[in-house]
């Protein structure tokens, strides 16, 4: 109870400085009248400044207020997480339609702020032709070039060739377009 404000009958003061649901100050009124006014509107009386003299209480829908506060905190945590890294695996002999699907997924990840680790997986005899994988990586980087920069490009490690794509900064996107018009 210490981390949430007192509501309705939990308020201990005899008088409160009442603030209406729209934020307009009503004035100093007895607690009983303030609680009755809130109930009449179908809302709660919430103590927003308990240390003031007299305490400040606001008429609001407390359940809705708690829900909106929690939702805002969730959104804030989601924004703080930032972009992680998403992995996409391809084979050297991928069909065009499947390649386009993988590109679309990578574009979605990049636009959400995630970096993308692209892996070309070779099997048996495909390992003899690593240039096929390198061509595929180049083609992939070209397809998502408007959204991403190649952060690192590894050589062949075991059965994989890996490339990491990082999303471009949003502010840099608009600055490069204006100088080419003549």
Q: For the chain, where are the alpha helices, taking DSSP H only?
A: 31-40, 62-81, 96-111, 130-143, 170-175
Overall pTM surpassing 0.95 (yes/no): no
Q: Verify that 26 and 95 share a domain, yes or no.
A: no
Domain containing 54 equals 8-73
pLDDT tens for 99-154 read: 899 899 988 888 888 888 888 888 888 878 778 888 888 888 888 888 888 877 87
Q: Verify that 114 and 65 share a domain, yes or no.
A: no
Alpha-carbon distance 115 to 98, whole Å? 20
Q: Verify that 102 and 146 share a domain, yes or no.
A: yes
Number of domains in the chain: 2
Q: Verify that 88 and 147 share a domain, yes or no.
A: yes
Instruction: Reply yes or no on whether the pLDDT at 174 is more than 60.
Output: no
Last residue of a domain, one of 48, 73, 98: 73
Alpha-carbon distance 182 to 179, whole Å? 8
């Amino acid at each position: 109870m210490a981390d949430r404000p007192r509501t309705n009958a939990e308020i201990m003061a005899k008088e409160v400085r009442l603030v209406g649901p729209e934020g307009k100050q009503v004035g100093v009124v007895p607690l009983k009248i303030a609680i009755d006014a809130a109930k009449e509107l179908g809302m709660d009386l919430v103590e927003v400044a308990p240390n003031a003299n007299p305490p400040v209480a606001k008429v609001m829908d407390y359940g809705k207020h708690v829900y909106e506060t929690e939702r805002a905190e969730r959104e804030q945590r989601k924004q703080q997480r930032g972009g992680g890294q998403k992995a996409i695996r391809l084979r050297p002999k991928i069909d065009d339609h499947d390649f386009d699907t993988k590109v679309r997924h990578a574009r979605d990840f990049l636009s959400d702020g995630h970096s993308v680790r692209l892996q070309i997986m070779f099997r048996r005899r495909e390992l003899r032709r690593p240039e096929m994988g390198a061509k595929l990586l180049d083609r992939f980087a070209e397809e998502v070039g408007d959204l991403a920069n190649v952060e690192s490009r590894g050589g062949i490690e075991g059965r994989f060739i890996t490339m990491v794509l990082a999303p471009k900064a949003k502010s840099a996107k608009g600055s490069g377009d204006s100088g080419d018009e003549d």
